Structure 1
Amino acid sequence: MTENLGELTITRELPAGPDAVFRAYVEPEQFVRFWGPVGTHVELDTVTIEPKVGGRYDSTMTIDATGDTFPLRSTITAFVPGELLVIREEGVGMSSSLAFKDLGDGRTEVVLHQTDVPEMFRGPEAEAGMNSSFDRLVEHLSAQR
């Protein structure tokens, strides 16, 4: 049993409407353009996204400098297109919820809320990594315009 579990919440405004932002998370060809912090990448052939409750949400992140890999194996537990995506990671048990709110001006507020987060995934370094992934998403969405 993992000890010292907690929560993490990050809120970001993104330069696209909710449907476009949501598609970036569920279309593998877009997902690989931003998933993971700067200095990592995800190969398209490692991504399985089945956009439905009970569907797979799997990928493998690779650290560019070392080649070390980090597989994400998870199941979609809630799915409302353009509004909500929730996944639960196998093994770790961590749940990640992405809520998408239309700001009405071509922007979307995204709230990432994670529960049952092991301590190693909650510190300032982990939060900085997630924010750099959001920065990569901003770049991707801006290029789509």
Structure 2
Amino acid sequence: MYAAIIAYLTIGSSPLNVSRYDFTQAHMGVRVDISLYAPDRAAAERAAQAAFDEISRIEVIASDYRPDSEAMRLCDRAGQGPVRVSPTLMNLLLRSEQFHYHSGGLFDVTAGPLVRLWRESRRTGVLPTHEAVQGARRNAGMGAVIIEPAA
């Protein structure tokens, strides 16, 4: 799976005075390719590193592979009352709610119990039982999430 970010840097020069530079790093469990145009390699490296740093910052907040991420700490408190979150996580949750709505429910950030079940299945090579899938489904669903930006 590839995530691609394309940025155009003109930094006071015309498009004819720039070259393409490509950078790759692993973030959030995927290969992230950044292709950008810059007047020189140093400018391209600074821009690419800034983008990778931002991806890393968001990963610390939102990764479900990191038990210490803010998102996982939020999940650990699910059903225990209101939880104050950072502005970044709030923005991600609000965007997730929009994607959920516009996808007709196909995009669902609360699918963690199902994701964990299938990760375990992949790891062990054993398909989950129907009962296990149904149990995971009962513990997922945006309908149980209340997002209050002003709280």
Q: Structure 1-normalised TM-score?
A: 0.25
Counting helix residues as a fraction of each chain, which structure ranks higher?
2
Counting strand residues as a fraction of each chain, which structure ranks higher?
1
Does 1 or 2 have the higher relative contact order (CA < 8 Å, sep 6+)? 1
Please tell me whether Structure 1 or Structure 2 has the larger radius of gyration of its CA atoms: 2
Q: Structure 2-normalised TM-score?
A: 0.25
